[in-house]
């Protein structure tokens, strides 16, 4: 069987969750939490941040923490100094203090704590295997076998399944058994039809509601990835898709439409995993220009342009997705995993 672990730069996208999941990739969630703590003054200038203690607090491996710190350094919120770790801010005397949960706002009103992250280091690989198996039809997922396979608690295994259900790639039947949702051409067509009908409505209603600084951030990220292309990772693609199709649309004024669109999030992550699994046999989809056109239309507050550019982007995406699905099914076979049982 072809190696499914390849990504665009031959690096393992370690500890990443699918961007369609509410919490997002582990590094992105950690980055957002540290950023919020710095902006709130909970992490004052001069505080020294080390990967190991932060990983322990977030209940993750060091890899997503390292990536989060690197992104914050790139944005100027952290800086280097003559010593280990990174400094909050770019001046001041280094303060080596023990980082406590309240300094990272881990017990704030959002109810976030270290246990919130325990499932995330495992989610990317789990999501990938579930999606790639779904291409071949329905199958059962055994929660206990999943916990044993990953050497984690039943709670962590259950959290993985709950988040996968939010994305729409598994479901639980009346007998409390977990099942993989089959992903075939018909489901792709149905979900893209749903997106083409609802996303333009949600996006046009978000015009004027998305902060300018958020559009600046999205546009800058698109340009950065575009400059590095094709040396980009699955995590990069995750974030770009999430920026536009989850975050921007989330500013729409009709919560019922936004909720209905959650059913389509599975094809956001499915397309990424199938594309990466095909590896060098498939051309990576450089959709950055299409996203930039939509962002430009949002900036111009032009509802007709927003609708037209978004519909065109979704129609092109649907066509490419079906071709990749057929290519994958024709070149791969079902992987045998101890926690996936044939029906």
Q: Write down the domain spans for the chain.
A: 26-80+97-117, 119-343
119-343 CATH, one of 3.40.50.970, 1.20.120.530, 3.90.1570.10, 3.90.1150.10: 1.20.120.530
Q: Give the sheet arrangement for strand 78-79, strand by strand.
A: 48-49, 86-88, 78-79
The CA-to-CA distance between both ends of the chain, in Å, stands at 22
50 neighbors 272 (Cβ within 8 angstroms): no
| pTM (2 d.p.) | 0.65
Q: What is the pLDDT along the chain (343 residues), one digit of tens a residue?
A: 333 333 322 233 333 333 333 345 667 778 888 999 999 899 999 999 998 889 878 877 677 788 899 989 988 999 998 888 999 998 778 888 989 888 988 765 454 555 566 787 788 889 889 999 999 999 999 999 999 998 888 988 999 999 899 888 999 999 999 999 998 889 989 999 999 999 999 999 999 999 999 999 999 999 998 888 877 777 788 889 989 999 999 999 999 999 999 889 888 878 778 877 776 544 556 789 999 999 999 999 999 999 999 999 999 999 988 888 888 888 888 889 999 998 8
pLDDT score of 114:
57
Beta bridge partners of 139: 180
- In 3D, which of 274, 252, 250 has the Cα closest to residue 323? 274
Q: What angle do CA 71, 74, 75 make, to 5 degrees?
A: 90
């Amino acid at each position: 069987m072809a190696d499914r672990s390849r990504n665009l730069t031959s690096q393992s996208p370690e500890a990443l969750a699918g961007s369609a999941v509410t919490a997002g990739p582990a590094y992105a969630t950690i980055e957002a939490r540290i950023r919020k703590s710095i902006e709130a003054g909970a992490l004052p200038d001069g505080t020294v941040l080390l990967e190991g203690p932060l990983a322990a607090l977030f209940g993750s491996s060091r890899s997503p923490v390292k990536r989060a710190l690197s992104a914050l350094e790139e944005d100027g919120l952290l800086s280097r100094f003559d010593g280990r770790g990174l400094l909050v801010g770019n001046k001041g005397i280094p303060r080596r203090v023990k980082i406590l949960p309240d300094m990272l706002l881990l017990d704030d009103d959002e109810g976030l704590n270290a246990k919130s992250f325990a499932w995330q280091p495992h989610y990317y690989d789990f999501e990938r295997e579930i999606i790639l198996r779904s291409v071949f039809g329905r199958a059962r997922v055994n929660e206990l076998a999943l916990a044993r396979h990953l050497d984690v608690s039943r709670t962590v295994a259950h959290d993985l399944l709950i988040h996968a259900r939010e994305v729409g790639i598994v479901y639980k039947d009346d007998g409390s058994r977990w099942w993989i949702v089959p992903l075939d051409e018909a489901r792709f067509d149905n979900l893209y039809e749903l997106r083409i009908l609802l996303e333009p409505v949600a996006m046009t209603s978000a015009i004027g509601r998305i902060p300018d600084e958020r559009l600046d951030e999205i546009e800058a990220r698109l340009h950065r990835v575009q400059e590095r292309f094709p040396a980009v990772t699955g995590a990069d693609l995750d974030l770009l898709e999430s920026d536009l199709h989850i975050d921007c649309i989330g500013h729409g004024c009709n919560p019922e439409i936004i909720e209905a669109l959650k059913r389509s999030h599975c094809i956001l992550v499915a397309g990424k995993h199938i594309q990466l699994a095909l590896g060098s046999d498939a051309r990576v989809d450089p959709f950055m220009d299409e996203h930039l056109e939509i962002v430009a239309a949002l900036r111009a507050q032009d509802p007709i342009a927003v609708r037209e550019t978004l519909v065109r982007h979704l129609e092109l995406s649907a066509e490419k997705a079906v071709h990749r699905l057929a290519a994958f099914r024709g070149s791969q076979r079902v992987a045998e995993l101890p926690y996936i049982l044939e029906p």
